[in-house]
Amino acid sequence: MLPAAADRGVGVPVNQPLEKTRLMRVVEGVALPSLARENGATSWAQFFLKWAMGHPAVTSVLYGTSNPDHAADNLQAMRGPVPDQAMRRRMVEHRETIPGFGEVGRMPW
């Protein structure tokens, strides 16, 4: 869907980019990769948010939290460079090495 939107110049808002914390559960205890620092990400939440922000069709990334610490961390994703297509590809390649990552869509909310 995102490539089709980009081809047509249609903006796309991304809602719940952290999959209601399912992504965070998969990476719990997993070290943040060194490639995250290349984009200025210092947490997994920032890593995932920056990946979403880097897609050319994405016009906004909407996340929700009631935790002020999480909100402050998430806002830091707006600092530093936004990943380009090559970096986004590297980010996906790394995520695919994380056990359980392919099961995120089947995890309970």
Query: Comparing 1 with 28, which gets the higher pLDDT?
Result: 28
Backbone conformation region of residue 79, classed left if phi is above 0, alpha if psi is from -120 to 50, else beta: beta
Q: State the average pLDDT over residues 11-26.
A: 91
Report which secondary-structure segment, H or E, holds 61.
Answer: strand 58-62
Range of the domain at 34: 2-99
Sequence letter at residue 37: R
Distance, in Å, from the CA atom of 31 to the CA atom of 86, rounded to the nearest integer, reads 22
Distance, in Å, from the CA atom of 17 to the CA atom of 90, rounded to the nearest integer, reads 18
pTM over 0.75: yes
Q: In this predicted structure, what is the pLDDT of residue 64?
A: 85
**Number of domains the chain contains:** 1
* Residue 104 lies inside a defined structural domain of this protein: no
* Residue 40 lies inside a defined structural domain of this protein: yes
* Residue 109 lies inside a defined structural domain of this protein: no
* Residue 107 lies inside a defined structural domain of this protein: no
pLDDT band with cut points at 50, 70 and 90 for residue 3: confident
What are the DSSP calls for 13-32, one per residue? EEE-TTGGGHHHHHTTTPPP
- Exposed/middle/buried for 106, CB within 10 Å: 0-12, 13-18, 19+? exposed
* Residue 87 lies inside a defined structural domain of this protein: yes
